[in-house]
Protein backbone atom coordinates (compact mmCIF):
# COMPACT_ATOMS: atom_id res chain seq x y z
CA UNK A 1 0.00 0.00 0.00
CA UNK A 2 1.38 3.42 -0.99
CA UNK A 3 0.91 6.10 1.68
CA UNK A 4 -0.56 9.46 0.81
CA UNK A 5 2.71 11.23 1.59
CA UNK A 6 4.68 8.84 -0.64
CA UNK A 7 2.15 9.26 -3.45
CA UNK A 8 2.36 13.05 -3.23
CA UNK A 9 6.16 12.94 -3.26
CA UNK A 10 6.20 10.73 -6.35
CA UNK A 11 3.63 12.84 -8.21
CA UNK A 12 5.54 16.01 -7.49
CA UNK A 13 8.90 14.48 -8.42
CA UNK A 14 7.45 13.54 -11.79
CA UNK A 15 6.23 17.10 -12.25
CA UNK A 16 2.57 16.14 -12.28
CA UNK A 17 1.57 18.60 -9.56
CA UNK A 18 3.27 21.36 -7.56
CA UNK A 19 3.95 20.16 -4.02
CA UNK A 20 2.79 23.42 -2.42
CA UNK A 21 -0.77 22.90 -3.64
CA UNK A 22 -1.36 19.38 -2.29
CA UNK A 23 -4.15 18.95 0.24
CA UNK A 24 -4.06 15.78 2.36
CA UNK A 25 -7.27 15.24 4.33
CA UNK A 26 -8.52 12.59 6.70
CA UNK A 27 -11.82 11.00 5.65
CA UNK A 28 -13.23 9.30 8.77
CA UNK A 29 -15.53 6.32 9.11
CA UNK A 30 -18.73 6.65 11.14
CA UNK A 31 -20.44 4.42 13.64
CA UNK A 32 -24.19 4.34 14.26
CA UNK A 33 -24.16 4.00 18.05
CA UNK A 34 -27.92 3.55 17.83
CA UNK A 35 -30.20 3.42 14.79
CA UNK A 36 -33.99 3.37 14.83
CA UNK A 37 -35.87 3.08 11.53
CA UNK A 38 -39.23 4.66 12.31
CA UNK A 39 -41.10 4.53 9.00
CA UNK A 40 -41.03 4.84 5.25
CA UNK A 41 -41.45 8.16 3.48
CA UNK A 42 -43.49 8.95 0.41
CA UNK A 43 -40.28 9.42 -1.59
CA UNK A 44 -39.21 5.85 -0.84
CA UNK A 45 -36.54 6.76 1.72
CA UNK A 46 -36.86 5.74 5.35
CA UNK A 47 -37.13 7.95 8.42
CA UNK A 48 -34.26 7.46 10.84
CA UNK A 49 -33.36 8.42 14.39
CA UNK A 50 -29.68 7.81 15.10
CA UNK A 51 -26.78 8.84 17.29
CA UNK A 52 -23.69 8.77 15.08
CA UNK A 53 -20.03 9.30 15.87
CA UNK A 54 -17.01 9.66 13.59
CA UNK A 55 -14.19 7.20 14.17
CA UNK A 56 -10.43 7.53 14.35
CA UNK A 57 -10.37 4.92 11.56
CA UNK A 58 -10.16 6.94 8.36
CA UNK A 59 -9.26 6.93 4.68
CA UNK A 60 -6.86 9.56 3.34
CA UNK A 61 -7.82 11.78 0.41
CA UNK A 62 -5.05 13.70 -1.36
CA UNK A 63 -6.23 16.53 -3.61
CA UNK A 64 -4.15 18.42 -6.18
CA UNK A 65 -4.90 20.86 -8.99
CA UNK A 66 -5.07 19.42 -12.50
CA UNK A 67 -5.62 20.78 -16.00
CA UNK A 68 -8.60 23.15 -16.15
CA UNK A 69 -11.95 21.49 -16.60
CA UNK A 70 -10.69 17.99 -15.77
CA UNK A 71 -11.09 15.62 -12.82
CA UNK A 72 -9.42 12.28 -12.19
CA UNK A 73 -9.19 9.76 -9.37
CA UNK A 74 -6.69 7.06 -8.42
CA UNK A 75 -6.91 4.66 -5.49
CA UNK A 76 -4.57 2.23 -3.76
CA UNK A 77 -7.40 -0.35 -3.78
CA UNK A 78 -7.52 -1.75 -7.32
CA UNK A 79 -11.02 -3.17 -6.79
CA UNK A 80 -12.56 0.26 -6.18
CA UNK A 81 -14.11 1.86 -9.29
CA UNK A 82 -12.42 5.17 -10.11
CA UNK A 83 -14.80 6.21 -12.89
CA UNK A 84 -17.76 8.60 -12.78
CA UNK A 85 -19.69 6.17 -10.56
CA UNK A 86 -17.36 6.89 -7.63
CA UNK A 87 -18.84 9.30 -5.09
CA UNK A 88 -15.67 11.41 -5.06
CA UNK A 89 -16.07 12.27 -8.75
CA UNK A 90 -19.83 12.68 -8.32
CA UNK A 91 -19.06 15.19 -5.57
CA UNK A 92 -16.70 17.03 -7.94
CA UNK A 93 -19.42 17.29 -10.56
CA UNK A 94 -21.98 18.54 -8.03
CA UNK A 95 -19.51 21.10 -6.66
CA UNK A 96 -18.66 22.34 -10.15
CA UNK A 97 -22.34 22.73 -11.05
CA UNK A 98 -23.14 24.81 -7.96
CA UNK A 99 -19.98 26.88 -7.72
CA UNK A 100 -19.24 27.51 -11.39
CA UNK A 101 -15.61 26.51 -10.77
CA UNK A 102 -13.72 25.71 -13.99
CA UNK A 103 -10.43 24.47 -12.57
CA UNK A 104 -9.09 20.94 -12.65
CA UNK A 105 -8.38 18.44 -9.91
CA UNK A 106 -6.80 15.07 -9.25
CA UNK A 107 -7.80 12.94 -6.25
CA UNK A 108 -5.82 10.07 -4.78
CA UNK A 109 -7.68 7.90 -2.27
CA UNK A 110 -5.95 5.67 0.26
CA UNK A 111 -8.53 3.22 1.63
CA UNK A 112 -8.65 1.86 5.18
CA UNK A 113 -12.43 1.79 5.68
CA UNK A 114 -13.88 -1.50 4.39
CA UNK A 115 -16.61 -1.36 1.78
CA UNK A 116 -20.15 -2.68 2.32
CA UNK A 117 -19.65 -2.30 6.04
CA UNK A 118 -22.17 0.31 7.21
CA UNK A 119 -19.27 2.60 8.17
CA UNK A 120 -19.98 5.28 5.56
CA UNK A 121 -16.64 5.15 3.77
CA UNK A 122 -17.92 6.26 0.37
CA UNK A 123 -20.09 8.99 1.88
CA UNK A 124 -17.17 10.26 3.92
CA UNK A 125 -14.94 10.33 0.83
CA UNK A 126 -17.55 12.38 -1.06
CA UNK A 127 -18.02 14.92 1.73
CA UNK A 128 -14.26 15.20 2.24
CA UNK A 129 -13.93 15.87 -1.49
CA UNK A 130 -16.48 18.70 -1.20
CA UNK A 131 -14.56 20.27 1.67
CA UNK A 132 -11.27 19.96 -0.23
CA UNK A 133 -12.69 21.47 -3.40
CA UNK A 134 -14.08 24.43 -1.46
CA UNK A 135 -10.55 25.12 -0.20
CA UNK A 136 -8.85 24.44 -3.52
CA UNK A 137 -11.22 26.67 -5.48
CA UNK A 138 -11.37 29.37 -2.78
CA UNK A 139 -15.16 29.48 -3.08
CA UNK A 140 -16.00 29.31 0.65
CA UNK A 141 -19.51 28.00 0.12
CA UNK A 142 -22.01 28.68 2.88
CA UNK A 143 -22.87 25.98 5.39
CA UNK A 144 -26.35 25.60 3.92
CA UNK A 145 -25.00 25.14 0.38
CA UNK A 146 -22.45 22.55 1.57
CA UNK A 147 -25.20 20.70 3.44
CA UNK A 148 -27.44 20.73 0.37
CA UNK A 149 -24.66 19.35 -1.82
CA UNK A 150 -23.88 16.64 0.70
CA UNK A 151 -27.54 15.59 1.00
CA UNK A 152 -27.77 15.45 -2.79
CA UNK A 153 -24.91 12.93 -2.87
CA UNK A 154 -26.21 10.50 -0.25
CA UNK A 155 -28.13 10.12 2.99
CA UNK A 156 -25.01 9.61 5.11
CA UNK A 157 -23.02 12.47 3.57
CA UNK A 158 -24.28 15.46 5.65
CA UNK A 159 -23.16 13.97 8.97
CA UNK A 160 -19.53 14.15 7.82
CA UNK A 161 -19.73 17.94 7.70
CA UNK A 162 -19.75 17.91 11.51
CA UNK A 163 -16.61 17.37 13.58
CA UNK A 164 -18.04 15.19 16.32
CA UNK A 165 -21.02 13.09 17.41
CA UNK A 166 -24.37 14.11 15.93
CA UNK A 167 -28.03 13.21 16.04
CA UNK A 168 -29.26 12.21 12.58
CA UNK A 169 -32.91 12.31 11.57
CA UNK A 170 -35.02 12.26 8.42
CA UNK A 171 -33.32 10.18 5.74
CA UNK A 172 -30.03 11.51 7.13
CA UNK A 173 -30.19 15.13 6.00
CA UNK A 174 -31.26 16.56 9.39
CA UNK A 175 -28.11 16.81 11.49
CA UNK A 176 -27.92 18.18 15.02
CA UNK A 177 -24.68 18.32 17.05
CA UNK A 178 -25.02 16.80 20.51
CA UNK A 179 -24.51 18.83 23.66
CA UNK A 180 -20.90 19.29 24.76
CA UNK A 181 -21.43 17.08 27.81
CA UNK A 182 -22.71 14.24 25.61
CA UNK A 183 -19.81 14.67 23.19
CA UNK A 184 -17.39 14.27 26.10
CA UNK A 185 -19.11 11.02 27.13
CA UNK A 186 -18.76 9.62 23.61
CA UNK A 187 -15.53 10.97 22.14
CA UNK A 188 -12.35 8.98 22.65
CA UNK A 189 -14.05 5.77 23.76
CA UNK A 190 -12.27 2.60 22.59
CA UNK A 191 -14.27 0.39 20.23
CA UNK A 192 -13.58 -2.78 18.26
CA UNK A 193 -14.80 -3.20 14.68
CA UNK A 194 -15.09 -6.53 12.89
CA UNK A 195 -16.57 -7.49 9.55
CA UNK A 196 -16.73 -10.66 7.42
CA UNK A 197 -15.24 -10.59 3.92
CA UNK A 198 -18.67 -9.91 2.43
CA UNK A 199 -20.74 -6.76 2.80
CA UNK A 200 -24.44 -5.93 2.88
CA UNK A 201 -25.99 -3.61 0.33
CA UNK A 202 -27.89 -0.78 2.03
CA UNK A 203 -30.83 -0.81 -0.46
CA UNK A 204 -31.29 -4.54 0.15
CA UNK A 205 -31.47 -4.06 3.93
CA UNK A 206 -34.12 -1.35 3.72
CA UNK A 207 -36.16 -3.26 1.12
CA UNK A 208 -36.06 -6.34 3.32
CA UNK A 209 -37.23 -4.32 6.32
CA UNK A 210 -40.05 -2.72 4.31
CA UNK A 211 -41.20 -6.17 3.15
CA UNK A 212 -41.84 -7.13 6.78
CA UNK A 213 -44.57 -4.49 7.03
CA UNK A 214 -45.29 -1.57 9.32
CA UNK A 215 -44.72 -3.58 12.50
CA UNK A 216 -41.02 -3.92 11.61
CA UNK A 217 -40.47 -0.21 12.25
CA UNK A 218 -39.84 1.41 15.62
CA UNK A 219 -42.49 3.76 16.92
CA UNK A 220 -41.17 7.33 16.45
CA UNK A 221 -42.24 8.53 19.90
CA UNK A 222 -40.68 5.51 21.61
CA UNK A 223 -37.43 5.80 19.65
CA UNK A 224 -37.10 9.47 20.48
CA UNK A 225 -37.93 8.90 24.14
CA UNK A 226 -35.40 6.07 24.53
CA UNK A 227 -32.64 8.16 22.99
CA UNK A 228 -33.61 11.22 25.05
CA UNK A 229 -33.38 9.19 28.28
CA UNK A 230 -29.83 8.12 27.44
CA UNK A 231 -28.77 11.62 26.44
CA UNK A 232 -30.13 13.06 29.70
CA UNK A 233 -28.45 10.51 31.98
CA UNK A 234 -24.75 11.32 32.43
CA UNK A 235 -24.17 7.97 34.13
CA UNK A 236 -25.67 5.87 31.31
CA UNK A 237 -23.02 3.64 29.67
CA UNK A 238 -22.76 3.27 25.90
CA UNK A 239 -24.13 -0.26 26.12
CA UNK A 240 -27.40 1.21 27.46
CA UNK A 241 -28.09 2.93 24.13
CA UNK A 242 -31.01 1.54 22.09
CA UNK A 243 -30.10 -0.94 19.35
CA UNK A 244 -30.23 -1.04 15.56
CA UNK A 245 -33.51 -1.84 13.77
CA UNK A 246 -31.65 -3.21 10.74
CA UNK A 247 -30.04 -5.97 12.79
CA UNK A 248 -33.37 -7.80 12.49
CA UNK A 249 -33.04 -8.28 8.74
CA UNK A 250 -29.24 -8.57 8.59
CA UNK A 251 -28.95 -11.10 11.41
CA UNK A 252 -31.95 -13.02 10.08
CA UNK A 253 -30.36 -13.47 6.64
CA UNK A 254 -26.65 -13.69 7.45
CA UNK A 255 -26.44 -16.14 10.33
CA UNK A 256 -22.66 -15.77 10.69
CA UNK A 257 -23.28 -12.37 12.29
CA UNK A 258 -25.47 -13.44 15.24
CA UNK A 259 -23.43 -16.62 15.68
CA UNK A 260 -20.26 -14.66 16.39
CA UNK A 261 -22.14 -12.01 18.37
CA UNK A 262 -23.55 -14.66 20.69
CA UNK A 263 -20.12 -16.25 21.14
CA UNK A 264 -18.50 -12.93 22.01
CA UNK A 265 -21.26 -12.05 24.46
CA UNK A 266 -20.94 -15.41 26.22
CA UNK A 267 -17.16 -15.81 26.26
CA UNK A 268 -15.91 -12.20 26.47
CA UNK A 269 -18.97 -10.53 28.04
CA UNK A 270 -19.03 -7.84 25.34
CA UNK A 271 -22.20 -6.40 23.86
CA UNK A 272 -22.02 -6.76 20.06
CA UNK A 273 -23.97 -4.47 17.72
CA UNK A 274 -24.09 -3.67 14.02
CA UNK A 275 -23.41 -0.29 12.40
CA UNK A 276 -25.82 1.04 9.78
CA UNK A 277 -26.96 -1.68 7.39
CA UNK A 278 -23.88 -3.80 8.16
CA UNK A 279 -22.06 -6.01 7.78
CA UNK A 280 -19.60 -4.42 10.23
CA UNK A 281 -20.25 -5.21 13.87
CA UNK A 282 -18.73 -3.49 16.87
CA UNK A 283 -18.25 -3.77 20.60
CA UNK A 284 -17.45 -1.07 23.13
CA UNK A 285 -14.61 -1.57 25.55
CA UNK A 286 -15.96 -1.76 29.13
CA UNK A 287 -15.50 1.32 31.29
CA UNK A 288 -12.33 1.60 33.35
CA UNK A 289 -10.47 -1.37 31.91
CA UNK A 290 -6.68 -1.06 32.48
CA UNK A 291 -4.47 -1.07 29.39
CA UNK A 292 -3.05 -4.61 29.84
CA UNK A 293 -6.55 -6.06 30.18
CA UNK A 294 -7.73 -4.04 27.17
CA UNK A 295 -4.88 -5.44 25.08
CA UNK A 296 -5.73 -8.98 26.17
CA UNK A 297 -9.40 -8.58 25.26
CA UNK A 298 -8.40 -7.11 21.90
CA UNK A 299 -6.32 -10.16 21.05
CA UNK A 300 -8.99 -12.57 22.29
CA UNK A 301 -11.63 -10.87 20.18
CA UNK A 302 -9.34 -10.71 17.15
CA UNK A 303 -8.72 -14.46 17.43
CA UNK A 304 -12.43 -15.25 17.56
CA UNK A 305 -13.21 -13.02 14.56
CA UNK A 306 -10.64 -14.65 12.28
CA UNK A 307 -11.45 -18.15 13.54
CA UNK A 308 -15.15 -17.62 12.77
CA UNK A 309 -14.95 -15.58 9.57
CA UNK A 310 -11.63 -16.54 8.03
CA UNK A 311 -8.45 -14.71 7.10
CA UNK A 312 -10.28 -12.25 4.84
CA UNK A 313 -12.24 -10.79 7.74
CA UNK A 314 -11.64 -7.20 8.83
CA UNK A 315 -10.72 -6.31 12.41
CA UNK A 316 -9.69 -2.96 13.93
CA UNK A 317 -9.22 -1.59 17.40
CA UNK A 318 -10.03 2.11 17.15
CA UNK A 319 -11.86 4.84 19.07
CA UNK A 320 -14.79 7.20 18.73
CA UNK A 321 -13.41 10.51 17.43
Q: Are both 91 and 40 inside the same structural domain?
A: yes
Q: Are residues 66 and 137 in the same domain?
A: yes
Same domain flag for 149 and 298: no
Here the CATH number for the domain that contains residue 242 is: 3.30.70.890
Helix (H) or strand (E) holding 145: helix 143-153
**Smallest Cα–Cα separation from 17: which of 70, 57, 55?**
70
Domain stops at, among 177, 205, 226? 177
What pairing do the DSSP bridges indicate for beta strands 174-177 and 190-195? unpaired
Using 50, 70 and 90 to split pLDDT, how confident is the model at 22? confident
- Of 177, 196, 215, which residue constitutes the final position of a domain? 177
Look at residues 177, 207, 227 and tell me which one is the last residue of a structural domain: 177
**Is 30 considered catalytic here?**
yes
The CA distance from 114 to 279, in Å, is 10
pTM of the model: 0.91
Length of the chain measured in residues: 321
239 with 280, same domain: the answer is yes
- 112 lies in the same domain as 146: yes
> Could you give the number of structural domains in the chain?
2
Residues 189 and 90 in one domain: no
Statement to judge: residues 154 and 238 lie in one domain: no
Whether 144 has a pLDDT exceeding 70, the answer reads yes
Q: Which of 299, 294, 253, 293 is nearest to 274 (CA)?
A: 253
Together in a domain, 130 and 220: no
pLDDT at 267: 96
Backbone angles phi, psi at 171, to 5 degrees: -85, 0
Tens of pLDDT along 64-122? 999 999 999 999 999 999 999 999 999 999 999 999 999 999 999 999 999 999 999 99
**Are 51 and 141 in a shared domain?**
yes
Q: Which of 262, 302, 275, 142 is nearest to 205 (CA)?
A: 275
283/297 Cα distance (integer angstroms): 11
Note whether 153 and 216 are same-domain residues: no
Res. 13: pLDDT tops 50: no
Query: Would the pLDDT of 7 be above 80?
Result: no
Domain of 66?
A: 4-177
Query: Considering 77, 156, 233, 262, which one is annotated as catalytic?
Result: 156
CATH code for the domain of 131 = 3.30.230.10
Residues 136 and 31 reside in one and the same domain: yes
3-state secondary structure at position 108: strand
Spatial separation of the C-alpha atoms in residues 149 and 143, rounded to whole Å: 10
166-203, pLDDT tens digit by residue? 999 999 999 999 999 999 999 999 999 999 999 999 99
Determine whether 156 is an active site residue.
yes
Given the residues 30, 59, 134, 195, the one annotated as active site? 30
Of the candidates 159, 188, 190, the one whose C-alpha atom is nearest the C-alpha of residue 176 is 159
158 plus 204 within the same structural domain: no
Q: Is the backbone of residue 311 left (phi > 0), alpha (psi -120 to 50) or beta? A: alpha
Amino acid sequence: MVSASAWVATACRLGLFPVSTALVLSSPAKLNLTLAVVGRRADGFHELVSLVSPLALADTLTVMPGPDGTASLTCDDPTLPVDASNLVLRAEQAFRAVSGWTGGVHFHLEKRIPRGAGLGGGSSNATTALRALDRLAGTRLSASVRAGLAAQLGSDCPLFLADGPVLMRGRGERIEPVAAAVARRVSGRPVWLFKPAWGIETPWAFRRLAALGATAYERPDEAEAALARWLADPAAPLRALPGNTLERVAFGKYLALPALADQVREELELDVRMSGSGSCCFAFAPDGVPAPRLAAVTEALRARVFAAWGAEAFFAATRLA
